[in-house]
Structure 1
């Protein structure tokens, strides 16, 4: 099976599995797991922040961070195409009494300053309005095809946040992909946000977990909320050890995923009945559409899976392919061959 469903399907490396056997363990709720402590210190330094907290998942990392910033009855400004808004079950509203205000997502994944400005009440003393307490960004942006936010934009949004006394939080699940796409050190991105989370179990291939990094004050509050949400873990070094190996060994190889994504997009673009823009491929995510009248996106996905290729649908009839370290050059060659055969065979049947 050639599986483009997500980079979350990546399996840990042999070195990660070996690290579990050698991990020094303790009770992480009491701060006594040496391996978790080492991971958090390493992650904080890597992202240029004061502190970090190991989280069971990116969803909990986002939820705990939003709740740490936003008192009940305030609002978080989120992209209307963001994972936080669409794919995380309304957690901040359910658990934190926080209002999401969806802001129109631009094609590059950004939220315009004009739209953000319009989300701030002119009279902040008017009791009718929920006040914005946080701006949430996503980088790279999943539903915009893995696009990386530009450094100029990040600088602009940070300045806007400071002027309006609203912190900037980044859902940076694939932020290392963003840094490699832009050709910069991760700190060139993180300097423009007050805090962020990044995923360890996507392209980095660790089995479980995400990191929140930010100020010591923010991380202390995130840690408290993690406990409240049921995310306090005991001998979590078993999970932290492979995560540390991932950060130490797997970041640079993400470039290979980007290169393969560009190759796949270019070859898809050459197929009659496929619509894809290679210039829109910034990282490891490709979005394409089927423009063959014999197929809907659903029937195409079903036909592909019957031929041992798995994609996902990402709204508006778009099909998503995510490249990860288990996708080989031969897999891409086979994928293109299979897609051509699927489309060609159904055209023949139609006539």
Structure 2
């Protein structure tokens, strides 16, 4: 099954079902900002549901554009939504790509909503149950210490600290580099630390975020980063820039990988201005495999890195 979605939260969903000769079902969900309805479920009626003739699609060799048009508005005697009464038609342009594999019946599914919906294997559960433990706060837990030592070696850093979550790891790193309240960190406007971590660096750490636009590939333009750095002479009035944060892979850019060369360039800017560089390595191992570059090389220029263990200590989901 193929799903195509366009802002379903802003308008009602129109369901179009196309049956091909090979019995493959295609469901296309679309929505228009200008057709916003207050109660989309209650308003599912023939008035708002386009009627389409049955289509039979033979699998072509390459992508085929498909255009669907809305029928003419209903007569005035029928109740019509005020936002669509003036519209004669709307169109959707969709490219469907067919291949031999696409027409095979789906026999299994993979849940990719998040890393935490996966489940550990029996061997992983057994290792957890039989692990040697002690008090981690006092530093006596051999398993936690071994994990920290191994992670430090992997990252090429002096030491590592095991904490409950990736969000906490990022917060600790930011606060370590920004010891004075009112310090400023430069980070992407669409980064995880800025968007999804509850404003913790501000509310808990007293650190001011200075955002720079994230490009489509997850990077920030080098010139924009340097331009965002505050002049130390103005510290009487402005926050003092202390840190630059990167994210690899960049979640809100489709999981794009940041290259070692780009990270090196940002690291050079940081050192030139006496700043620190932190990398939110939420999917760092994914980037390492995709780029074919060792993990420690991707964070070589960084002064700190956070790596959530839930993203690599999980098994492939069996379905």
TM-score by structure 2 length?
0.63
Aligned residues: 210
Cα distance, 1:10–1:144 mapped onto 2, change above 3 Å: same
Which runs of no fewer than 5 residues in structure 1 stay unpaired? 206-249, 251-324, 329-351
Structure 1 residues 1-351: aligned runs within 5 Å: 2-70=110-178, 71-205=180-314, 325-326=316-317
Q: Go from structure 1 to structure 2 and tell me whether the alpha carbon gap of 1:2 and 1:191 turns closer, same or farther (over 3 Å shift).
A: closer
2:39 aligns with none
Do the aligned residues in 1 keep the contact of 2:149 with 2:159 (CA within 8 Å)? yes
**8 Å contact 1:10–1:203 — kept in the other structure?**
no
Deviations 1:43-64 (A, max 9, x none): 1111111100101000111111
Structure 2 alignment gaps of length 5 or more: 1-108
Cα 1:95–1:82 shift into 2, 3 Å: same
For 2:237 and 2:183, locate their aligned partners in 1 and report how far apart those are by CA, in whole Å: 12
TM-score normalized with structure 1 length: 0.57
Q: Match for residue 8 of structure 2?
A: none
Runs of at least 4 residues off by over 6 Å: none
More helix by share: 1
- Paired with 1:123 and 1:132, the residues of 2 have a C-alpha distance of 8
Instruction: Give distance in 1, aligned partners of 2:235 and 2:145.
Output: 45
**Relative contact order: is structure 1 or structure 2 higher (C-alpha 8 Å, sep ≥ 6)?**
1
SS in structure 2 at match of 1:201: helix
Give me the whole-angstrom Cα distance separating, in 1, the residues matched to 2:261 and 2:146.
33
Deviation of residue 7 (structure 1)? 2.0
